[in-house]
């Protein structure tokens, strides 16, 4: 099943990347809702580009952090459903010097 959501935050249209996570979530049941706030450019950048550490030029690893937001109603494709909500944040991490990059840094 697909979870897909478009949110307008501060006048900027931000697409949540729920598609990939939605597939993951569907394997464990449909009662989890993930939301991620990245602009479309940040999304492309994160998933399609290779990133190197600015300090030591090592290839960065993608890591995700899930933050439990509590249970509640969410709207998915126009339908409301009760689910456990998580906010997902994407980071890039250097395996050598442990420098952490957020979506604004890379």
Residues that bind Zn ion in the complex, under the rule CB under 5 A: 53, 55-56, 58, 94, 96-97, 99
**Three-state DSSP string of 31-73:** CEEEEECCCHHHHHHHHHCCCECCCCCCECEEEEEEEEEEEEE
Query: For residues 39 and 58, which CB has a smaller minimum distance to Zn ion in the complex?
Result: 58
Q: How far is the CB of 105 from Zn ion (least distance, A)?
A: 12
Q: How far is the CB of 98 from Zn ion (least distance, A)?
A: 7
DSSP class of 59: B
Q: How far is the CB of 27 from Zn ion (least distance, A)?
A: 34
Helices assigned H by DSSP within the chain: 19-27, 40-48
Query: For residues 90 and 101, which CB has a smaller minimum distance to Zn ion in the complex?
Result: 101
């Amino acid at each position: 099943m697909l979870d897909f959501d478009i949110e307008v935050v501060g006048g900027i249209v931000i697409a949540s990347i729920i598609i990939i996570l939605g597939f993951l979530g569907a394997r464990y049941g449909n009662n989890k809702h993930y939301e991620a706030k990245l602009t479309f450019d940040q999304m492309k950048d994160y998933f399609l580009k290779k990133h190197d550490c600015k300090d030591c030029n090592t290839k960065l690893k993608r890591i995700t952090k899930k933050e439990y937001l509590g249970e509640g109603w969410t709207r998915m494709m126009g339908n409301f459903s009760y689910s456990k909500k998580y906010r997902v944040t994407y980071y890039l991490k250097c395996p050598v010097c442990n420098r952490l990059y957020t979506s604004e840094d890379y």
